[in-house]
Chain A
Amino acid sequence: MTNVTSISSPSIHSEDRAHEADHPTSTVAKFGNDQPLKLDCGIDLAPFQIAYQTYGELNADRSNAILICHALTLDQHVANVHPLTGKAGWWEIMVGPGRPLDTDKYFIVCSNVIGGCMGSTGPASTNPATGKAWGLDFPVITIPDMVRAQAMLLDRLEIKTLLCVIGGSMGGMQVLQWTAAYPERVFSALPVACSTRHSAQNIAFHELGRQAVMADPDWHHGRYFELNTHPHRGLAVARMAGHITYLSDAALHRKFGRRMQDRDLPTFSFDADFQVESYLRYQGSSFVERFDANSYLYLTRAMDYFDIAADHDGVLAQAFRGIKTRFCVVSFTSDWLFPTSESRALVHALNASSARVSFAEIETDRGHDAFLLDVPEFFDIARAFLQSADKARGLDTSKGG
Chain B
Amino acid sequence: MAFQEQALPLGGIAPDRTGKYRTDHLLVAEMIPAGSKVLDVGCGDGELLQLLESRGIDGRGIEISREGVNRGVARGLAVVQGDADTDLVNYPDDAFDYVILSQTLQATRQPKVVLENLLRIGRRAIVSFPNFGFWKMRLQLLVGGHMPRTENLPATWYDTPNIHFCTIKDFVQLCDEINVKMERAVALDLYGRPVPLTLPWWVWNMFGEQGVFLLSRGGVGK
A→B interface (CB under 8 Å): 326, 328, 344, 347-348, 351-352, 354, 356-363, 377, 380-381, 383-385, 387-388, 391
**Roughly how many angstroms separate A357 CA and B81 CA in the complex, as a whole number?**
11
Chain A residues, Cβ within 8 Å of B91 = 351-352
Residues B70 and A362 in contact, CB atoms below 8 Å apart: yes
Residue of B60, B75, B81, B82 ringed by the most chain A CB atoms within 10 A: B81
Distance of A110 from chain B, by nearest CB (Å): 24
Residues B76 and A359 in contact, CB atoms below 8 Å apart: no
Select which of A348, A354, A362, A384 is within 8 A of B90 by beta carbon. A348
B77 interfacial by beta-carbon distance below 8 Å = yes
Select from chain A the residue with minimum beta-carbon distance to B77: A358
Select from chain B the residue with minimum beta-carbon distance to A359: B80
Name 11 interchain pairs, CB-CB below 8 A, sorted by A: A326-B78, A348-B90, A351-B92, A352-B95, A354-B92, A358-B69, A358-B77, A360-B66, A384-B75, A384-B76, A388-B77
Interface of B is mostly: mixed
Residues of chain B in range 65-105 having any CB-CB distance to chain A below 8 Å:
66, 69-70, 72-82, 87, 90-92, 95
Residues B80 and A358 in contact, CB atoms below 8 Å apart: yes
- The 10 lowest CB-CB distance pairs between A and B, nearest first, are A388-B76, A348-B90, A359-B80, A384-B74, A358-B73, A356-B78, A358-B78, A381-B73, A380-B74, A360-B70
Chain B interface residue count: which class?
20 to 34
**Roughly how many angstroms separate A362 CA and B67 CA in the complex, as a whole number?**
9
With A351-B90, A352-B90, A356-B60 known to touch, is A387 a contact of B69 (CB < 8 Å)? Answer: no
Select from chain A the residue with minimum beta-carbon distance to B76: A388
Residues A381 and B70 in contact, CB atoms below 8 Å apart: yes
How many CB-defined contacts (below 8 Å) exist between A and B?
66
With A356-B60, A358-B80, A360-B69 known to touch, is A381 a contact of B74 (CB < 8 Å)? Answer: yes
B→A interface (CB under 8 Å): 37, 58, 60, 66, 69-70, 72-82, 87, 90-92, 95
Chain B residues, Cβ within 8 Å of A359 = 69, 79-82
Residues B80 and A357 in contact, CB atoms below 8 Å apart: yes
Residues B73 and A391 in contact, CB atoms below 8 Å apart: no
Residues B81 and A361 in contact, CB atoms below 8 Å apart: yes
**Roughly how many angstroms separate A354 CA and B80 CA in the complex, as a whole number?**
13
**Roughly how many angstroms separate A348 CA and B81 CA in the complex, as a whole number?**
11
Residues A380 and B69 in contact, CB atoms below 8 Å apart: no
Chain B residues, Cβ within 8 Å of A381 = 70, 73-74
**Roughly how many angstroms separate A366 CA and B115 CA in the complex, as a whole number?**
39
Select which of B70, B90, B95 is within 8 A of A377 by beta carbon. B70
Select from chain B the residue with minimum beta-carbon distance to A326: B78
Chain A residues, Cβ within 8 Å of B79 = 358-360
**Roughly how many angstroms separate A385 CA and B81 CA in the complex, as a whole number?**
15
**Roughly how many angstroms separate A2 CA and B95 CA in the complex, as a whole number?**
67
18 additional contacts (CB under 8 A) given A358-B80, A380-B70: A344-B82, A351-B80, A351-B91, A351-B92, A351-B95, A352-B95, A354-B37, A357-B78, A358-B78, A358-B79, A359-B80, A360-B69, A360-B70, A360-B79, A361-B81, A377-B70, A384-B73, A388-B77
